[in-house]
Amino acid sequence: MRRTLATTGRVLNQVRHDPRTIALMLVVPSLLIGLIAWIFTDTPAFQRIGPSMIALFPFVVMFLVTSIATLRERRSGTLERLLSMPLAKGEFIFGYAVAFTMIAIVQTIIASSFAVWVCGLEISGSFWLMFAVAALDALLGISLGLMASAFARTEFQVVQFMPALVIPQFLLAGIILPREQLPGVLESIGDWLPLSHAIDTLSDVAAGTTDSDTAFSMLVIVAWIVVALLVGSLTLRRRTA
């Protein structure tokens, strides 16, 4: 626990020394939500797409940040040094997860406040549930990012995992075309992808129609997080060739 918190503190300290990244992480989602609201002025589409955007940002941003941060740890030798010390892999992973989830929650508070009070998005359901789902999305991004970093040797490679892992999920999530209208195979793939469930959940929260389906969706996201964290922790090896 002490070592997990030390890692969280260290990661937050690193981010604190990089004010431009903080500004980008906190402001860009709101700007993009504002742009979408503006594009769909006078149509009901924003009410449908807005919640999806709130689901999308913590996932995408945390995926990128985690994949690059852990790749840097692997490449700079700090990970090797840490693993030669009495630090458990779980402590390392959870240290990162706690730090980035905290940032993701702040990001979501700003983005959703902007969406609701400036762009006029209506959230009929619970705000707490919305933050909980956003935190889950962030964790999902963190766990997939950690996994992706293991399969990349350079920063160039790792950023390519973003379109490879994120855009298909975005396309199949039902934002562009509702999932029921997709070809059968794509519909069933989309039904199992975590981002689809993140978007479904936030749409339910916005519409105030949360039910047992919502709970199931959250479970699917949690399952993906657990699997990705397990695979990710397998890639943190004390001994390497």
Partner 1 sequence: MNKSACIDVQELNVKRGKNLVLDQLSFQLEAGKIIGLLGPSGSGKSTLLRSIVGNQIITSGTVTVLGLPSGSKALRHKVGYMTQAASVYDDLTVTQNVAYFAKILGLPDEEVNRVIQGTDLSEQASSLVIDLSGGQRNRVSLAIALLGSPEIVILDEPTVGLDPVLRADLWGLFARLAATGLCLVVSSHVMDEAMRCDQILLLREGKILAQLTPYELMERTGATDPETAFLKLIDTGASNSHDNATPDPDSAPRHRASADGSK
CA distances from 23 to 80, 107, 189 (A): 31, 10, 36
Task: Decide if residue 240 touches partner 1 (CB under 8 A).
Answer: yes
Instruction: Please report how close the Cβ of residue 73 comes to partner 1 at its closest, in angstroms.
Output: 9
What angle (nearest 5°) sits at the alpha carbon of residue 228, between those of residues 17 and 83?
Answer: 55
Is residue 20 involved in binding partner 1 (CB under 8 A)?
Answer: no
181 lines the binding site for partner 1 (CB under 8 A): no
CA 176 to chain centroid, in Å, comes to 20
Kindly tell me which of 77 and 184 has the beta carbon lying closer to partner 1. Answer: 77
From the CB of 7, what's the least distance to partner 1, in Å? 8
For partner 1, the closer of residues 9 and 208 by Cβ is: 9
What is the C-alpha separation between 15 and 106, in angstroms, rounded? 14
Asked whether position 239 contacts partner 1 by CB under 8 A, the answer is yes
* Residue type at 167 in one-letter notation: I
**Which range, of 14-22, 121-129, 131-139, 192-200, touches partner 1 by CB under 8 A?**
14-22
Interaction mask 66-85, partner 1, x per CB under 8 A: ----------xxx-xxxxxx
Considering only residues 84-123, where is the footprint of partner 1 by CB under 8 A? 84-87
Cα–Cα distance list, 95 to 51, 107, 172, 183 (Å): 29, 19, 32, 41
CB count within 10 Å of CB 19 equals 9
Q: Is 2 in the site for partner 1 (CB under 8 A)?
A: yes
CB of 199 to partner 1, least distance (A): 34
Residues 6+ positions from 96 with CB-CB distance below 8 Å: 7, 8, 11, 66, 69, 70, 142, 146
Residues that bind partner 1 (CB under 8 A): 2-3, 6-7, 9-10, 13-14, 17-18, 76-78, 80-87, 238-241
